Chain A
Amino acid sequence: MNAQSKTVDLSGKKRPGEALIVIFLIFAAGVSILTTAGIVFILGKESLPFFREVSLLEFFTKPRWQPQIHDFGILPLFTATFMTSLVAMIIALPAGLASAVYLSEYAPDKVRSVIKPVLEVLAGIPSVVYGFFALQTVTPILHNLFGSERVDIYNTLSAGLVMGILILPLISSMCEDALSSVPKSLREGAYALGATKLEVSTNIVIPAALSGISAAFIVGLSRAVGETMIVALAAGAGPALTLNPFKAAETMTGHIVRISGGDLSYDSIDYNSLFAIGLLLFVITLGLNILSRRLVKKYQEVYE
Chain B
Amino acid sequence: MTEKKTGFQPNLAGRKRNGRIMARLFLASTIFAILCLGALLFSIFNQTAGYVLVEYAASEADVLPAQDDGNPKHLESLEKVELLALIDENLGARRKKALDIEKPLDTRTDKELRDLIIAEVLQPKVIRTWLFFESILGRAHIFEWAAENAPEGTLTFRWWLSPAFLTASQSSDALYAGVRSAIIGSLMTIALTILVAFPIGLGAAIWLEEYAKANRINGIIKTNIYNLSGVPSIIYGMLGLGIFVRALEPFTSGALFGVTGGDAAGNGRTVLSAGLTLALLILPTIIINAQEAIRAVPRSLRESGYALGATKWQVIFHHVLPSSMDRILTGTVLAVSRGIGETAPLVLVGAATFLTRDPTSIFSRFTTLPIQIYQWTARPQAEFKNIAAAAILILMVLLLSLNSVAIILRNEFRSRKRG
A90 within 8 A of B: no
A229 within 8 A of B: yes
A278 touches B374 (CB 8 A): no
B239 touches A39 (CB 8 A): yes
Q: A11-B306, A94-B29, A137-B43 are in contact. Are A35 and B239 (CB under 8 A)?
A: yes
A129 touches B341 (CB 8 A): yes
A29 within 8 A of B: yes
Closest CB in chain A relative to B415 CB, distance in Å = 22
Q: A12-B311, A28-B201, A121-B37 are in contact. Are A99 and B18 (CB under 8 A)?
A: no
A46: nearest chain-B partner, CB-CB = B242
Closest CB in chain B relative to A181 CB, distance in Å = 16
A11 touches B227 (CB 8 A): no
B312 touches A25 (CB 8 A): no
Please tell me the number of chain B residues within 8 Å of chain A, measured between CB atoms.
Answer: 96
Closest CB in chain B relative to A191 CB, distance in Å = 13
Interface hits, A79-136 → B, CB 8 Å: 94-96, 98-99, 101-103, 106-107, 115, 118-119, 121-122, 124-133, 135-136
A281 touches B232 (CB 8 A): yes
- The CA-CA distance from A5 to B213 in the complex, in Å, is 8
Contact residues in B for A266 (Cβ distance below 8 Å): 246
Closest CB in chain B relative to A121 CB, distance in Å = 6
A227 touches B37 (CB 8 A): no
Interface string of A265-279 (1 = CB under 8 A from B): 010000000110010
B208 within 8 A of A: yes
Q: A25-B204, A102-B26, A196-B16 are in contact. Are A253 and B234 (CB under 8 A)?
A: yes
B370 within 8 A of A: yes
Contact residues in B for A198 (Cβ distance below 8 Å): 15, 18-19, 22-23
- The CA-CA distance from A293 to B218 in the complex, in Å, is 17
Q: A15-B313, A233-B377 are in contact. Are A129 and B392 (CB under 8 A)?
A: yes
Interface hits, B1-56 → A, CB 8 Å: 15-16, 18-19, 22-23, 25-30, 32-34, 36-37, 39-40, 43-44, 47
Contact residues in B for A21 (Cβ distance below 8 Å): 313
A25 touches B344 (CB 8 A): no
Interface string of B299-326 (1 = CB under 8 A from A): 0000100110111111100000000000
B200 within 8 A of A: yes
A14 touches B312 (CB 8 A): yes
B208 touches A29 (CB 8 A): yes
Interface hits, B195-215 → A, CB 8 Å: 199-204, 206-208, 211-214
Instruction: Tell which of B70-78, B103-111, B280-288 binds the partner.
Output: B280-288
A225 within 8 A of B: yes
Contact residues in A for B348 (Cβ distance below 8 Å): 256-257, 260
Interface string of B317-338 (1 = CB under 8 A from A): 0000000000000000010011
Closest CB in chain A relative to B384 CB, distance in Å = 11
Interface string of B392-404 (1 = CB under 8 A from A): 1001100100010
Contact residues in B for A183 (Cβ distance below 8 Å): none
Q: A46-B242, A233-B378 are in contact. Are A253 and B34 (CB under 8 A)?
A: no
Interface string of A158-195 (1 = CB under 8 A from B): 00000001001100100000000000000000000000
* Set B34, B231, B370, B385: member contacting A128, Cβ < 8 A: B370
A282 within 8 A of B: yes
Contact residues in B for A227 (Cβ distance below 8 Å): 232
Contact residues in A for B243 (Cβ distance below 8 Å): 38, 42
B309 touches A12 (CB 8 A): yes
B192 within 8 A of A: no
Please tell me the number of chain A residues within 8 Å of chain B, measured between CB atoms.
Answer: 96
A32 within 8 A of B: yes
A197 within 8 A of B: yes
- The CA-CA distance from A10 to B246 in the complex, in Å, is 49
Q: A98-B29, A132-B44, A274-B238 are in contact. Are A228 and B344 (CB under 8 A)?
A: yes
B241 within 8 A of A: yes
Q: A25-B203, A42-B239 are in contact. Are A285 and B231 (CB under 8 A)?
A: yes
- The CA-CA distance from A253 to B234 in the complex, in Å, is 7
* Set B47, B235, B241, B306: member contacting A12, Cβ < 8 A: B306
11 extra interface residue pairs, beta carbon distance < 8 Å, beyond A198-B19, A226-B233, A257-B347: A12-B311, A35-B228, A39-B238, A101-B26, A102-B23, A136-B389, A168-B33, A199-B19, A223-B232, A286-B230, A293-B226
Q: List 14 A-B contacts (CB under 8 A).
A: A29-B212, A98-B25, A99-B29, A99-B30, A102-B26, A103-B30, A106-B27, A126-B343, A128-B370, A129-B373, A169-B33, A257-B234, A257-B344, A281-B234
Residues of A whose CB lies within 8 Å of any CB of B are 1-2, 5, 10-15, 18, 21-22, 24-33, 35-36, 38-39, 41-43, 45-46, 94-96, 98-99, 101-103, 106-107, 115, 118-119, 121-122, 124-133, 135-137, 165, 168-169, 172, 196-199, 202, 219, 222-223, 225-229, 232-233, 253, 256-257, 260-261, 266, 274-275, 278, 281-282, 285-286, 288-290, 292-293
Lowest 10 CB-CB distances: which A-B pairs, in order? Answer: A226-B232, A126-B341, A28-B203, A42-B242, A98-B29, A102-B26, A10-B306, A289-B230, A198-B19, A228-B344
